[in-house]
Structure 1
């Protein structure tokens, strides 16, 4: 009987012990699983948050790079148009047929940095009677030249100019004009001689001082008559 009781007791004890152990593991397992689920949820959110954050930074960086490019481009354009070229549109027909109304031109500001304007050059300059306006004309007389206009002809230092660029022969009004071109100055006329307000008629002075020359016209890129791009270079 004693042996049977002890055996039964031991078996019940072992059974209870195993049951408790099983319960304990189950509880621990439940807790572990629950904690692991919460951890996985948090970790699942973190990559998404990091992804959105990185995307926002990438977009901001891209926008900033475009802004930098635009600012740099604007500064380069400002420097070029301020110091290197002039982009001009001609509103009148005083230079026809070489340059027509609404033709668009590019003038090079640095043309006379190391050289002097030459007879035949087409220049953009400040109009002497009102320097707020810019004019475009052809150089006829250079410093020291004597320009005589008589009988519908132009003479420079007693030699008649050969002018195949003028639109039509100049009308002879029966008068003669003589101009002695001062130092650092230029006498200019339009190619459309019968419809050009040029050195012949100005009030302040009949000459363009070199300091008032803005640029030499180097080419035409838009034709005001055909309304199409073109490319015509000038001497």
Structure 2
């Protein structure tokens, strides 16, 4: 009887432990799917906002770890200047990180090294002030990568660019034709391809801050 009772307690303890393990796994999965997720920056396209050395040089390799907020866009639409993480709509699983420049229904115009936005409120267009996030090497140097200088953003889609304009393959270049829908290269990011908004630089610890803060 004593042995039976001991075995019963061991089984109950093991069952309780496995229950806790399952709960933890489910919680981690839910948090990573719907709340926040880690992401590692690779390449120089968002320098100096992300992946910049202390001396201002751009890191061309693996760099910072950031936290991506997946719940933010449950409550609002992506806004201009948001830094977003998104996947390739062709299903290859490749992730990108860029800044939102053009919103659905707007026309993005590249002229004289600057960005102009045409929309319902400003049909003649306005010059986009990017001084808050572009450094002196990039401010005024937003060039088109082809003869295409006007981009009409479709509904439920976004025009995006990297902050390091001279080294970023983005909407201007149709992501170098690697970003496509049904095999056709596109300059625009469909809303359903957006994973979330880049929120916090988590590592290195010396760089911890909300993304967007100076």
Indicate whether the TM-score tops 0.5.
yes
Q: Indicate the residue corresponding to 2:155 in structure 1.
A: 183
Q: Select between 145-154 and 117-126 the one with higher mean Cα deviation.
A: 145-154
One of 127, 131, 134 as aligned partner of 1:166: 134
Q: In the comparison of the two structures, how many residue pairs are matched?
A: 182
Structure 1 residue ranges (4+ consecutive) displaced by more than 6 angstroms after TM superposition: 173-176
User: Which secondary structure does the structure 1 equivalent of 2:33 belong to?
Assistant: helix
Q: Secondary structure at the match of 1:138?
A: strand
Q: Which has the higher helix share?
A: 1
Give the whole-Å Cα distance in 1 for the aligned partners of 2:86 and 2:78. Answer: 12
Q: Please identify, of 82-91 and 199-208, the stretch whose mean Cα deviation from structure 2 is larger.
A: 82-91
**Partner deviation per Cα, 1:6-49 (whole Å, 9 max, x = no partner):** xxxxxxxxxxxxxxxxxxxxxxxxxxxxxxxxxxxxxxxxxxx8
Moved more, 164-173 or 176-185: 164-173
Tell whether 2:26 aligns with 1:75. yes
Cα distance in 1 for partners of 2:198, 2:76 equals: 15
Q: Shift in Å at residue 60 of structure 1?
A: 3.9
Retained in 2: the 8 A contact 1:219–1:233?
A: yes
Q: Quote the residue 2:122 is aligned against.
A: none
What value does the CA root-mean-square deviation take over the aligned residues? 2.6
The residue number in structure 2 matching 1:214 is 195
When you count strand as a share of all residues, which structure comes out higher? 2
Secondary structure, aligned partner of 2:18: helix
CA contact under 8 A between 1:144 and 1:180: conserved in structure 2?
Answer: yes
User: Which residue pairs with 2:56 in the alignment?
Assistant: none
Give TM-score, length-normalised by structure 1: 0.68
Is 1:152 the counterpart of 2:118 in the alignment? no
- Structure 2: runs of 5 or more not aligned: 52-61, 119-124, 178-184
Q: What's the counterpart of residue 83 of structure 2?
A: 122
Report the structure number with the largest CA radius of gyration. Answer: 1
5+ residue gaps, structure 1: 1-48
Partner of 2:172: 200
Q: Structure 2 length normalisation: TM-score?
A: 0.74
